[in-house]
Chain A
Amino acid sequence: MPFNIYDFSGTTKAIDQFLYAKMPPTWAFVTELAIVGVIILLVYAVVGLYLVYAERKVCAFMQNRVGPNRVGKWGLIQTIADLIKLLMKELVVIRKADQLLFNIAPFILIIASFMAIAAIPFAKGLHAVDFNIGVFYMMAVSSIGVIGTLLAGWSSNSKYSLIGAMRSGAQVVSYELSVGLSLLAVVIFSGSMQLSVIIESQANGWWIFKGHIPAIIAFVMFLIASTAEINRGPFDLAEAESELTAGFHTEYSGIRFAFFFLGEYMNMFIVASLAATVFLGGWMPLHIGNLAGFNHVMDFIPPLVWYFGKTVFIIYVIMWFKWTFPRLRIDQLLTLEWKYLLPINLVNILVIAFIVLMGWYIK
Chain B
Amino acid sequence: MQEVELSDILTAREDGDYIVNIGPQHPSTHGVMRFVVSLKGEMLEYVIPHCGYIHRGIEKMCERMTYPQIIHLTDRMDYLSAHMNNEAVSLLVEKATGVEVPERVKYIRTILSELQRIASHQLWWAAFGMDMGGLTCFFYGLRDREHILDIFEESFGSRLLHSYVCPGGLMGDIHPNFQKRTKEFIKYFRKKLPEYDQLLTGNVIFEQRTKGMGIMSKADAISFGATGPVGRGSNFACDIRKKFPYSAYDKVDFKEILYTEGDSWARYKVRVDEMWESMKIIEQLIDNIPEGDYSAKMKPVIKLPEGEYSQRVETAKGDLGVFVVSKGEKYPYRMHFRTPNFNNLFVISQLCAGNKIADLIAISGSLDLVIPDIDR
* Complex interface: chain B residues within 8 A of A59 (CB): 135-136
* Complex interface: chain A residues within 8 A of B200 (CB): 326
* Complex interface: chain B residues within 8 A of A167 (CB): 42
Binds A, one of B66-74, B346-354, B357-365: B357-365
Within 8 A of B (CB), among A63-114: 63-65
Count B interface residues, CB 8 Å.
32
CA distance A329 to B207 in the complex (A): 12
- Mark interface residues in B38-62 (1 if CB within 8 Å of A CB, else 0): 0100100000000000000000000
Choose from A64, A237, A240, A326 the contact partner of B209 (Cβ within 8 Å).
Answer: A326
* A242–B130 touching, CB < 8 Å: yes
* A159–B20 touching, CB < 8 Å: yes
* B199–A242 touching, CB < 8 Å: no
CA distance A243 to B130 in the complex (A): 11
* A163–B357 touching, CB < 8 Å: yes
* Complex interface: chain B residues within 8 A of A327 (CB): 132-134, 205, 358
* B136–A323 touching, CB < 8 Å: yes
User: Does B143 sit at the interface, judged by CB under 8 A?
Assistant: yes
User: Does B262 sit at the interface, judged by CB under 8 A?
Assistant: no
CA distance A332 to B18 in the complex (A): 23
* A234–B136 touching, CB < 8 Å: no
* Complex interface: chain A residues within 8 A of B42 (CB): 163, 167, 330-331
* B26–A245 touching, CB < 8 Å: yes
* Complex interface: chain A residues within 8 A of B203 (CB): 325-326
CA distance A240 to B206 in the complex (A): 15
* A234–B205 touching, CB < 8 Å: yes
CA distance A324 to B135 in the complex (A): 8
- Mark interface residues in A131-164 (1 if CB within 8 Å of B CB, else 0): 0000000000000000000000000000110010
Choose from A241, A243, A324, A328 the contact partner of B136 (Cβ within 8 Å).
Answer: A324
Nearest residue (CB) in A for B133 is A327
* A64–B139 touching, CB < 8 Å: yes
Count A interface residues, CB 8 Å.
28
CA distance A323 to B203 in the complex (A): 13
Shortest A359–chain B CB gap in Å is 38
CA distance A73 to B365 in the complex (A): 39
Choose from A64, A234, A236, A325 the contact partner of B140 (Cβ within 8 Å).
Answer: A64
CA distance A241 to B138 in the complex (A): 14
Nearest residue (CB) in A for B37 is A159
* B28–A325 touching, CB < 8 Å: no
Within 8 A of B (CB), among A303-332: 323-332
* A243–B358 touching, CB < 8 Å: yes
CA distance A233 to B135 in the complex (A): 10
Nearest residue (CB) in A for B204 is A325
Nearest residue (CB) in A for B138 is A63
User: Does A62 sit at the interface, judged by CB under 8 A?
Assistant: yes
Shortest B179–chain A CB gap in Å is 27
User: Does B356 sit at the interface, judged by CB under 8 A?
Assistant: yes
User: Does B328 sit at the interface, judged by CB under 8 A?
Assistant: no
* A159–B18 touching, CB < 8 Å: yes
CA distance A243 to B359 in the complex (A): 9
* Complex interface: chain B residues within 8 A of A328 (CB): 205, 208-209
* Complex interface: chain A residues within 8 A of B129 (CB): 326
CA distance A242 to B357 in the complex (A): 11
* Given A163-B42, A234-B205: A330 and B139 interface contact (C-beta under 8 Å): no
* Complex interface: chain B residues within 8 A of A163 (CB): 20, 39, 42, 357
Shortest B122–chain A CB gap in Å is 14
User: Does B131 sit at the interface, judged by CB under 8 A?
Assistant: yes
* A63–B136 touching, CB < 8 Å: yes
* Complex interface: chain A residues within 8 A of B20 (CB): 159-160, 163
User: Does B27 sit at the interface, judged by CB under 8 A?
Assistant: yes
CA distance A241 to B29 in the complex (A): 12
* B357–A243 touching, CB < 8 Å: yes
* A63–B134 touching, CB < 8 Å: no
* A323–B135 touching, CB < 8 Å: yes
* Complex interface: chain B residues within 8 A of A63 (CB): 135-136, 138-140
* Complex interface: chain B residues within 8 A of A234 (CB): 133, 205
Shortest B65–chain A CB gap in Å is 38
- Mark interface residues in B195-218 (1 if CB within 8 Å of A CB, else 0): 000011001011011000000000
Interface-central residue, B27, B129, B136, B209, by most chain A CB under 10 Å: B136
Shortest A253–chain B CB gap in Å is 16
* B199–A324 touching, CB < 8 Å: yes
* B133–A236 touching, CB < 8 Å: yes
* A242–B28 touching, CB < 8 Å: yes
* Complex interface: chain A residues within 8 A of B26 (CB): 245
* A324–B134 touching, CB < 8 Å: yes
Shortest B112–chain A CB gap in Å is 27
Nearest residue (CB) in B for A329 is B358
* Complex interface: chain B residues within 8 A of A324 (CB): 134, 136, 199
Shortest A331–chain B CB gap in Å is 7
* A325–B134 touching, CB < 8 Å: yes
* Given A242-B28, A325-B205: A233 and B133 interface contact (C-beta under 8 Å): yes
* B359–A329 touching, CB < 8 Å: yes
* Complex interface: chain B residues within 8 A of A237 (CB): 358
CA distance A241 to B131 in the complex (A): 9
- Mark interface residues in B128-167 (1 if CB within 8 Å of A CB, else 0): 0111111110111001000000000000000000000000
Choose from A64, A160, A329, A332 the contact partner of B143 (Cβ within 8 Å).
Answer: A64
Interface-central residue, A65, A236, A329, by most chain B CB under 10 Å: A329
Shortest A58–chain B CB gap in Å is 11
Within 8 A of B (CB), among A220-279: 233-234, 236-237, 240-243, 245
3 nearest interchain CB pairs?
A327-B133, A326-B132, A63-B139
22 examples of A-B residue contacts, CB within 8 angstroms: A62-B136, A63-B136, A63-B140, A160-B20, A163-B357, A167-B42, A234-B133, A234-B205, A242-B28, A242-B130, A242-B361, A243-B357, A323-B135, A324-B134, A326-B200, A326-B209, A327-B134, A327-B205, A327-B358, A329-B209, A330-B356, A330-B358
Interface residues of A (CB under 8 A from B): 59, 62-65, 159-160, 163, 167, 233-234, 236-237, 240-243, 245, 323-332
Sample of 19 more A-B contacts, CB < 8 Å, known A242-B27, A324-B199, A328-B205 = A63-B135, A64-B139, A64-B140, A163-B20, A163-B357, A240-B133, A240-B358, A241-B27, A242-B131, A242-B361, A243-B28, A243-B360, A325-B203, A326-B200, A326-B209, A328-B208, A329-B209, A329-B356, A330-B42
